Chains A and B, each alone.
Chain A
């Protein structure tokens, strides 16, 4: 089946630093990947849609200069949280869309970010 990995699983950083999270589709090509954020005991909120080779599309209220997304290849998208602050602490989940599986989305295991 389609597998999506994320790295790292868990990261703690100091306020003001930048953190990069990777999302990889391991056994399929993903022209589109999605980034979600989930605060404790809340639902998933779509942050942005990442298309290979083009600029990401951000949802309303998501700062594109703060959450930099790069979809450099058909199997890798990265989310960089720049100048992170404690309020950016959250669970970040990516998903990848598989053309081979009728455009279904497959979710990564998530990355827990804690900003001190």
Chain B
């Protein structure tokens, strides 16, 4: 059974701190995505990771992929309030279907 699990599910952190969100998946995937979702809104694409060892950074967010461990991380550096949102990872299989992680709800406290 294909599973995509995120850890933690809920995260509250102070501004200026660092933290890492983990995404584990159970079956080989051809790519890994990270999305941001604000309340009542759809998904905003953050990163697409294509191969083992891939690392991408945008502002205070950095994503990495270890296909051997079937693990992706989303690292938050010096968090700011604007980063408060729910973050989803998703894997793509067979070039077609997406499977979404459980989501991590992040609240950054001033």
Contact = CB atoms under 8 A, between A and B. Distances in A.
A109 B40 CA distance: 9
Contacts of B35: 107
A93 B48 contact: no
Contact of A43 (B41, B48, B100): B100
A44 B43 CA distance: 10
Interface in A43-94: 43-46, 49, 93
Given A41-B105, A112-B40, A46 B97 contact: yes
A32 B98 CA distance: 13
Contacts of A34: 97-98
A95 B44 CA distance: 12
Contacts of B41: 109-110
Contact of A110 (B42, B100, B102): B42
Interface string B83-110: 0000010000001111111110100000
A69 B48 CA distance: 29
A97 interface: yes
Given A97-B96, A103-B95, A104-B48, A43 B101 contact: yes
B42 A108 contact: yes
Contacts of B105: 41
Contacts of A97: 96
Interface string A16-41: 00000000000000001010000001
A93 B42 CA distance: 7
Nearest to A97: B96
Contacts of A32: 96
Given A97-B96, A103-B95, A43 B88 contact: yes
B4 to A, nearest CB: 8
Interface of B: 35, 40-43, 45, 48, 88, 95-103, 105
Given A43-B101, A46-B98, A97-B96, 5 more contacts: A34-B97, A43-B100, A44-B43, A103-B96, A110-B41
